[in-house]
Structure 1
């Protein structure tokens, strides 16, 4: 009965397996494996629209499902402290296949990445790259194009992607680095890490630059969500356990996954620092491209020609996100004119409400904002909801002093302008 049920499932998903054969799966290890260490062994798991739920393990290009005339995307994970399967792989594979008819090859090097000694995993990266080069060489003989190859590398996987790109002289179509690993790579020359010359287009998301990630720009365009450090919704203390170490680092992956769902497009803005972006000084892309500002994630390649042909090929872009999917923040410029005789400094929160009773709040802590009589202050405010018709705005001001006098902020004029939807 169980065999009949398994056959039905395979028929339902269009998967052909021999009697008693199970689908090849990502190597699942335990923390015990990390304690003793693991020798490198790479499995290449192919998914296509013809076998979306049951991988085909590749030893060469001799394959039932591999079509080298189509785009091929490699998904490469990073260091695995506990040996577990990366939780994000199934969703990423599913979404990639849903947006485009392609080959998705999951590069499983869990044996080699699972160890307590991080330097051992890092030392295996070039060996993984050599194995991938061998497969790609065979694909090219069969008619594949380097232009159609996209490598998505997470943490150490980003540098593996770079090494593969170097082996092909930077002619790969695209490399996406998701929070490239920082330890053992900071300060290294381009030949020892991911670099803009490793592919025709290199886009990078930095989400943990003060921890496990890499701070400096590594691509043609480098996205820094929330400045690239502490991500909203992630633990702030070590008492949260393992999540404290990996939440910020993994956020780059979940931001990329969210971009494939297209529930909202996250727009990013070129700027020389996150502070200047937050102070509303970098909210236009007209000086960079004759088109709107770039969007984060999978569809960033639409800006490829503008980014790779400009005189300054490396561009750092900044944006804010919410603490959970779909992560979008809807921005407004807020112009405030006050008529207090004395200068006021403080923090405040703004609440927007529409006609249906929905509310959205944003707490603002302007570092340099000094409210002076008849002077206009312009701030960049973000909300996690988008209201087409705003019927009410309320503002609460605080000087932050507990024992001092409770000063009021006397507002002469307050004006909202939508940055996300400027036509409103």
Structure 2
């Protein structure tokens, strides 16, 4: 059986876009929050979804070991990308989506490829102990999108992508203020914003803003430049979008407003932190 036949036998659809999901520190296959994103893609019905489980290499309390293990995990991810390309998967319809340390794994995987990744979407890429060659860069793919929700604490503060989105100032999310761990709650919220964006009808619209004010934690209207066109954030962001954009929102992303409403109850923060 050839590689393409193996893919088709296991449910791969050549007419669908392909996403590779990579969790961060303390995660594993099927665990919150990345399981929310996986289910959002699968329920949409138009995506081939691969999940990378490196949970045994990134478990607490050994964060430093998890940072060290990003490189061998990235090499394995690069093998997956090569396998998919050689099997006929179209690179321009393939996205690596990583949360926290997983975002940097997407970037490191690109260094092991003999071809160029098309798109990386980095969900609040991790800040502590990640520097130099380990850090995601805007040249790691044709498009590198970054969604900041806890910049300067668990998440990276500076611009890393070809396009950066700063949600509610990028540092602290308003729905996390009364939680026991405000930083962790804010860090995880990036995944729920991404899950929300899989459906174009519920994706958040972002407006251009200054890079200095956006990452300062400001949520005031004067952080917006008024220059350029608004764009949707997340899965359906146009590849041509560049620069820094701001999103302002007081509600919990992807948290259903009522029974049967669009969303996932696991994104309602009172249920998990």
Corresponding residue for residue 263 of structure 1 = 202
Structure 2 matches for 1:5-404, cutoff 5 A? 62-63=6-7, 64-67=9-12, 69=14, 70-80=16-26, 85-99=30-44, 101-168=46-113, 171-185=116-130, 188-189=131-132, 191-235=133-177, 240-241=179-180, 243-261=181-199, 262-263=201-202, 265-272=204-211, 273-274=213-214, 278-280=220-222, 282-286=224-228, 292-300=229-237, 302=238, 304-307=239-242, 315-325=243-253
Q: TM-score when scaled to structure 2?
A: 0.80
Q: CA deviation at 1:215?
A: 0.3
Q: Which runs of 5+ in 1 are unaligned?
A: 1-59, 287-291, 308-314, 328-424
Q: Deviations over 1:286-305 (max 9, x none)?
A: 3xxxxx312211111x2x22
Is contact 1:170-1:199 (8 Å) kept? no
Larger Rg: 1
Q: In structure 1, what is the Cα distance between the partners aligned to 2:104 and 2:251? A: 28
Query: Number of residues paired by the alignment?
Result: 246
TM-score by structure 1 length? Answer: 0.53
Q: What CA distance in whole angstroms lies between the structure 1 residues aligned with 2:49 and 2:92? A: 15
Relative to structure 1, the CA distance from residue 129 to residue 323 in structure 2 (aligned partners, 3 Å threshold; closer, same or farther) is same
Deviation of the 1:281 alpha carbon: 5.8
In 2, the alpha carbon distance for the partners of 1:217 and 1:271 equals 11
CA distance in 1, matches of 2:115, 2:221: 37
> In structure 2, what is the Cα distance between the partners aligned to 1:306 and 1:227?
19
Structure 1 position 162, deviation (Å): 0.3
- Partner secondary structure for residue 75 of structure 1: strand
8 A contact 2:169–2:219 mirrored in 1: no
- State the shift of 1:128 in Å: 0.9
Contact 1:150–1:175 at 8 Å: present in 2 too? yes
Structural RMSD (CA): 2.6
Shift of 1:213: 0.6
Residue by residue over 1:342-393, the C-alpha shift from the partner in whole angstroms, topping out at 9 and shown as x without a partner, is: xxxxxxxxxxxxxxxxxxxxxxxxxxxxxxxxxxxxxxxxxxxxxxxxxxxx
Specify which structure has the bigger relative contact order, considering alpha-carbon pairs within 8 angstroms and separated by 6 or more residues. 2
Q: 1:94: Cα distance to partner? A: 2.8
Q: CA deviation at 1:323?
A: 3.3
Structure with the larger strand share: 1
Distance change (3 Å), C-alpha of 1:124 and 1:207:
same
Cα gap change, 1:169 to 1:215, in 2 (>3 Å): farther
Specify whether residues 124 and 326 from structure 1 end up closer, same or farther in structure 2 by C-alpha distance, changes over 3 A only: closer
Q: Report deviation, 1:159.
A: 0.3
Q: Does the residue aligned with 2:175 lie in a helix, a strand or coil?
A: coil
Cα distance change, pair 268–326 in 1 and its aligned pair in 2 (3 A): farther
Q: 2:119–2:141: 8 Å Cα contact kept in structure 1?
A: yes
Higher share in helix: 2
Contact 1:147 1:171 in 2 (8 A): no
The 1:154–1:264 alpha-carbon spacing in structure 2 relative to 1, beyond 3 Å, is closer
Structure 2 unaligned blocks of 5 or more: 256-273
